[in-house]
Amino acid sequence: MNILLQKFTVYDLLIIAIMATVGIALKPVVVPLAHLISGPLMIPGGALAGGLYMLWLVTGYGIVGKPGTTTLVALVQALLVLFTGVIGSHGIMSLFTYTMPGIAIDIVMLASGHRVCCKNCAVLAGAVSNVMGTACVNVIFFRVPGVYLTLILSVALLSGALGGLLACELLKVLRKFHLIAIREKIKVENKSKYMIPAFAVLCMIVGITAFMNANLQTGDSSGYFLTISRQGETVDVISMEEIMNMESISVETELQSAQYDDERGIYTGVVLTDILALTDADLLSDCTKFITRAGDSYSSALSLEDIADNNVLVVYKKDGKMLTPFEDGGAGPMRIMILSDTYGNRSTKYLIGIDCR
């Protein structure tokens, strides 16, 4: 690491810190907006909005122009989300999911001999990094089927390419107004005097990021819907806001898993029969089987006896906090909870629909 850092001036490191933090600071604003589109389509918000994040990695490389630049930018981003808990954090796995896109850009630039010096290499860098980031998140969390994964990666490719194109245009503006040329005026022997202001700026940016996380990271439910159908034909589409406005109950229970740690907590949600009755009262008298569908193509069957006596909930909170969407590594924003069955195989995560038969 010391050998890597010796290649960079204080100005370079300051640019790296700024690019990393701006990308993370935008997440609390960009993610809810992306969910408006990605939520109904069940496309990971990171794949759709990832181009706006990769924009800053590509821009950072374009300014600094040295191998290893985007690896450091991505590593700083990983540490920021890990220690501030900003929206989009993947826990300790953030060190993998955030750093790999930066490594991908460095490899592409080394292999091509470019330095984000033209539109083509900027677009390529953005596309490769967003596809890499999306693929890493899928490997760690979702492991979706091949066809669905192809769709997600295609969206990531287009979004990343757009981010690279925007980075190229941003670099043109910076060069036009000579905002990049200042790097050449900072001599190595005088770099120590920039340490204090560089550290102050970095602390200020980190503080702003933490503030935005505390004030903007809310349980945003916009863009999420639950589709109720009968024999495959849509009966109604209920927004998550409507479900949250219904009478809710909270229960303490535990979900057992053969693959992951058991999940114990206080879950809050709405009784499934109340949702079905609100949609069409005849569903409970005409149908005997209820197929729950998840955004990752998983499905599970419930009988009429299963859902009787308030036994099944559509939950959206755990321990008072909103369930995070699947694109952020969570089980939500809605999932099924079967109170009489503590095994989690039928407690469908990423719930998007219920087909009554």
Structural domains in the chain (count): 2
User: Does residue 140 share a domain with residue 80?
Assistant: yes
- Running DSSP on this structure, what letter comes out for residue 325? B
pLDDT given for residue 27 in this prediction: 77
189 contacts: CB under 8 Å, gap ≥ 6: none
User: Does residue 192 share a domain with residue 59?
Assistant: yes
Instruction: For the chain, give the percent of residues with pLDDT over 70.
Output: 75
- Running DSSP on this structure, what letter comes out for residue 342? -
User: Does residue 250 share a domain with residue 210?
Assistant: no
User: Does residue 197 share a domain with residue 111?
Assistant: yes
**Domain end call among 182, 216, 250:** 216
Closest CA to 166 of 108, 211, 127, 209: 127
Distances (CA, A) of 143 to 39, 131, 134, 247, 323: 18, 15, 11, 34, 19
User: Does residue 172 share a domain with residue 269?
Assistant: no
Domain span holding position 342: 225-356
CATH number at residue 195: 1.10.1760
Is-cis flag, bond preceding 333, omega within 30? yes
User: Does residue 208 share a domain with residue 178?
Assistant: yes
pLDDT given for residue 35 in this prediction: 63
Given a cut of 50, is residue 6 above it in pLDDT?
Answer: yes
Per-residue pLDDT band at 225 (split at 50, 70, 90)? confident
Look at 237 and 258; give whichever has higher pLDDT.
Answer: 237
Task: Please compute, for residue 330, the number of CA atoms within 13 A of its CA located in the half-sphere on the CB side.
Answer: 19
User: Does residue 198 share a domain with residue 77?
Assistant: yes
Q: How far apart are CA 267 and CA 254, in angstroms?
A: 9
What confidence tens digit (pLDDT) does each residue in 312-327 have?
A: 999 999 999 998 876 5
Mean pLDDT of the chain: 81
| Number of other CB atoms surrounding residue 251 within 10 Å | 14
- The predicted model gives 289-295 an average pLDDT of 88
Q: How far apart are CA 354 and CA 334, in angstroms?
A: 12
| Predicted TM-score of the model (pTM) | 0.59
The residue ranges of DSSP E strands in 118-232, in sequence order, are 225-230
- Running DSSP on this structure, what letter comes out for residue 323? P
Q: How many angstroms from the chain centroid is the CA of residue 304?
A: 36
User: Does residue 70 share a domain with residue 201?
Assistant: yes
**Domain end call among 150, 184, 216:** 216
Given a cut of 70, is residue 116 above it in pLDDT?
Answer: yes
Q: How far apart are CA 210 and CA 194, in angstroms?
A: 24
Per-residue pLDDT band at 344 (split at 50, 70, 90)? confident
Q: How far apart are CA 55 and CA 27, in angstroms?
A: 13
